[in-house]
């Protein structure tokens, strides 16, 4: 029975991965940087762990002896990475070195998460064999983290994904949550119509991780939602599904916002490899947003 350690278990993908893997019989160990887990500690063993602390990483991995490490933790705020480069490198690259060093000693496989920001967005959609060329510091750190694994002699699978959306306990606002928070309050918003990608329901990505574990796959996989759309199109579809007023959404160009980190504009993923190798069916926008809506309603009803 594979013992699985999940980093970033309080994050968006971390939570979904824990939820999904808890339906299997794999023994789990959760780690995240916060002092408390969002899950019941009695049911899911949890340790506070700053992954930039090499000795602590080694100690926990030595003790638990996982066969698989699902590494979801990262600094995911792209603009913060642009400004706080030392922090971005420490968490997104050095931590991966720490994990791979400890993983090698116990023979664990690493399932790592990366991003479409490794590409420049000049001619997406991209397949796994396209040449990365990051234009932001976040993208550079994530590409460097891939290279850490690819040169480490540790067995690994790298799942590149993009525009993750979903719900969870106290998760940071992702694009869909930001839209929901504003449109449900009838707040007018500006959304870019010149930035293209495949919005990805986080539940689908967690399923891809489970398939990687079960089928024991390695290498790079592009895992993203079925529809390649602009952010504006996604916002309109979300408004449709939630029956929000679409007139609240104004399309604008990316140059409207003075963001510290440049974004890949014409991005998108070709996901044929993941669909074929992992028998995955990725949700399109309408289905994904409907699932998101149902989960949000369930979460809100529990909070009442
Ligand atoms: N979100 C997206 O749209 C997207 C797109 C492409 C790829 N990805 C990749 O997918 C993965 C999961 O993303 P996500 O959206 O689930 O991220 P998330 O919600 O931001 O979760 C990441 C978690 O890592 C934690 N963390 C930060 N620094 C840490 C440290 N030093 N030690 C231990 N934990 C630390 C964060 O804690 P704090 O919240 O306290 O910082 C957070 O709980 C990441 O590798 C990301 O790069 C995400």
Instruction: Report, as an integer, the average pLDDT of 106-123.
Output: 98
Ligand 1 pocket, residue 164 CB under 6 Å: yes
Residue 105 DSSP SS3 = helix
Q: Where are the alpha helices (DSSP H) in the chain?
A: 12-21, 54-64, 78-83, 85-89, 95-106, 137-150, 175-184, 202-215, 231-242, 272-277, 285-303
Residue 199: both structure tokens together: 């919005």
Give mean pLDDT, residues 85-114: 98
CA distances from 216 to 13, 32, 93 (A): 20, 25, 24
Over residues 97-117, mean pLDDT: 98
Please choose from 49, 56, 72 the residue to mutate so as to test ligand 1's pocket, defined by most ligand atoms within 8 A of CB: 72
Q: Is 75 in the pocket of ligand 1 (CB under 6 A)?
A: yes
Check: CB of residue 18 under 8 Å from CB of residue 9.
yes
C-alpha dihedral sign at 259, 261, 264, 268: negative
Ranges of each domain in the chain: 4-167+200-227+268-283
Q: How confident is the model at residue 76 (pLDDT cuts 50, 70, 90)?
A: very high
Average confidence (pLDDT) over 108-132? 98
Contact (Cβ atoms closer than 8 angstroms) between residue 12 and residue 166 = yes
Distance CA 131, CA 112 (A): 19
Helix axes 175-184, 231-242, angle to 10 degrees: 50
- The pLDDT tens digits of the residues spanning 18-44 come to 999 999 999 999 999 999 999 998 899
Q: Is the CB of 94 under 6 A from ligand 1?
A: no
Q: Which of 7, 11, 75 to mutate to test the pocket of ligand 1 (most atoms within 8 A of CB)?
A: 11
Q: Which of 194, 170, 213 is nearest to 267 (CA)?
A: 194
Q: Is residue 302 predicted with pLDDT exceeding 90? A: no
Identify the residue whose C-alpha is closest to ligand 1 atom 37: 33
| pTM (two decimals) | 0.97
- Mean pLDDT, residues 247-268 taken together: 95
Q: Give residue-wise pLDDT tens across range 127-181.
A: 999 999 999 999 999 999 999 999 999 999 999 999 999 999 999 999 999 999 9
- The residues pairing with 164 across neighbouring beta strands, listed in sequence order, are 200
* Span 111-140, average pLDDT: 98
% of the chain with per-residue pLDDT over 70? 99
Q: How far apart are CA 207 and CA 245, in angstroms?
A: 33
Tell whether ligand 1 has an atom less than 6 A from the beta carbon of residue 141. Answer: no
Contacts of 147 (CB under 8 A, 6+ apart): none
Q: What is the mean pLDDT of residues 53-77?
A: 98
Report the alpha-carbon distance of residue 92 to residue 283 in Å, rounded.
28
Of the ranges 5-14, 47-56, 292-301, which one carries the lowest mean pLDDT score? 292-301
pLDDT of residue 136: 98
**Percent of the chain having pLDDT more than 90?**
96
> Cα–chain-centroid distance for residue 107?
25
CA of 247 to the centre of ligand 1 (A): 33
What is the reported pLDDT for 159? 98
CATH superfamily of this structure's domain 4-167+200-227+268-283: NAD(P)-binding Rossmann-like Domain (3.40.50.720)
Write down the pLDDT at residue 150: 97
CA distance 208 to 296: 22
């Amino acid at each position: 029975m594979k013992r699985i350690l999940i980093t970033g278990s309080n994050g968006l993908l971390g939570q979904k991965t824990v939820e999904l893997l808890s339906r299997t019989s794999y023994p789990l160990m959760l780690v995240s940087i916060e002092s408390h887990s969002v899950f019941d500690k009695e049911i899911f063993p949890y340790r506070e762990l700053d992954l930039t602390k090499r000795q602590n990483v080694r100690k926990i991995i030595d003790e638990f002896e996982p066969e698989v490490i699902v590494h979801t933790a990262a600094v995911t705020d792209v603009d913060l990475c642009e400004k706080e480069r030392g922090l971005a490198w420490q968490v997104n690259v050095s931590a991966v070195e720490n994990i791979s060093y400890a993983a090698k000693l116990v023979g664990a496989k690493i399932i790592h998460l990366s991003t479409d920001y490794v590409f420049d967005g000049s001619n997406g959609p991209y397949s796994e064999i396209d040449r990365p060329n990051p234009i932001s510091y976040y993208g550079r750190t994530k590409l460097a983290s891939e290279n850490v694994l690819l040169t480490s002699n540790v067995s690994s699978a790298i799942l590149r994904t993009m525009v993750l959306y979903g719900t969870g306990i106290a998760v940071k606002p992702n694009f869909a949550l930001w839209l929901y928070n504003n449109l449900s309050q009838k707040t007018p918003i500006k959304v870019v119509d010149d930035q293209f990608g495949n919005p990805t329901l986080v539940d689908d990505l967690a399923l891809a991780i489970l398939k990687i574990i079960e089928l024991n796959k390695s290498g790079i996989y592009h895992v993203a939602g079925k529809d390649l759309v602009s952010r504006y199109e996604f916002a309109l579809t979300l408004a449709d599904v939630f029956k929000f007023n679409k007139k609240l959404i104004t399309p604008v160009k990316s140059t409207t916002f003075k963001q510290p980190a440049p974004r890949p504009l014409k991005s998108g993923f070709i996901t044929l490899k993941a669909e074929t190798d992992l028998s995955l069916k990725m949700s399109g926008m309408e289905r994904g947003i409907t699932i998101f809506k149902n989960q949000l309603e369930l979460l809100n009803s529990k909070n009442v």
